[in-house]
Structure 1
Amino acid sequence: MALFSNTISLLERSLDYSSLKQQVISQNIANADTPNYKAKDVNFKSVLNSEMEKTLPTYMTNSKHIPFQTSSESFTITKKNVQYNNNGNSVDIDQEMSDLADNQIYYNALIERLNGKFQTLQTVIKGGSQ
């Protein structure tokens, strides 16, 4: 039985994405002064495709249909079109801090929504009385 029409599992996977994004941003910030370090980012498209394949199985009903291909690329990528510092490092600390704040807001919104789902479940279990 899926509670809340799979909303909780979807929120869980979104939290996994946010956690991965947090780890990558933290690595970039930690290596801001490391010579020749190339800043990384999370490839949202490959994360989305991976999750969609888990939840939406694809079936070919006709041999003329274009087959769906699974992506073997990793979720983290090296950022492109960035300027390098004198030491070959491509971390822009201001951009990383901005990304960190955006990710924190996203994470907090997911947690609030998840808490709301659990509060609704708790209300239903108690029979609506508090």
Structure 2
Amino acid sequence: MKIFPQSFQSLEQALSTASLKQRVHSANIANVDTPNYKSKQVNFQTTFKDVLNNQPISSYKTNSEHIAFSSETTPFKPTIKMNNDTQYSPNGNNVDMDYEMAELAKNQLWYNAVTERVNGKFNSLRTVIDGR
């Protein structure tokens, strides 16, 4: 028996991805002065597009004339890609602090938005349970 709707699984994946991105960008910033360190990035968009393109489409239909589609999502894991194409400093390090800080800020906004959505979902469930 499923207690939570499918959207909770999607929100969980979004939070996991945001957490991974936070760790990767933080590691890049922590290694800004490490010789020959190559920055890493979470490859989310490519993985997400691959899942969407390879996903079958079907749905529950209340009428035989309705068009079928699916809201089932395949769990996926974003990949971490090492950036070997650039070199910003003479010691072989390619961490761009401006980029990393901007990505951290963007990721923080995304994380906040997803947590607000999760809170909204739980508040809706609480309202149903309490019968208000």
Which has the larger displacement, 77-86 or 107-116?
77-86
One-letter code of the match for 1:15? L
Point out where structure 2 has 5 or more consecutive residues left out of the alignment.
58-77
Q: What aligned pairs does 1:6-17 form with structure 2 within 5 A after superposition?
A: 6-17=6-17
Q: Which residue of 2 aligns with 1:71?
A: none
Q: What aligned pairs does 1:24-39 form with structure 2 within 5 A after superposition?
A: 24-39=24-39
> What is the aligned counterpart of 2:117 among 113, 120, 127?
113
Percent identity, aligned pairs only?
Answer: 49
What is the TM-score of this pair, normalised by structure 1?
0.74
Q: What aligned pairs does 1:1-130 form with structure 2 within 5 A after superposition?
A: 1-3=1-3, 5-45=5-45, 47-48=47-48, 52=51, 56=55, 75-79=79-83, 81-128=85-132
2:38/2:84 contact within 8 Å kept: no
**1:78 CA displacement:** 1.2
The number of residue pairs the alignment matches comes to 110
Point out where structure 1 has 5 or more consecutive residues left out of the alignment.
59-73
1:17/1:47 contact within 8 Å kept: no
What is the TM-score of this pair, normalised by structure 2?
0.73
Which has the larger displacement, 79-88 or 27-36?
79-88
SS at match of 1:41: strand
Residue-by-residue CA offset, 1:68-116 (whole Å, 9 max, x unaligned): xxxxxx7110125434211110000111000000000000000000000
Q: Where is the helix percentage greater, Structure 1 or Structure 2? A: 1
Q: Distance in 1 between matches of 2:120 and 2:84?
A: 39
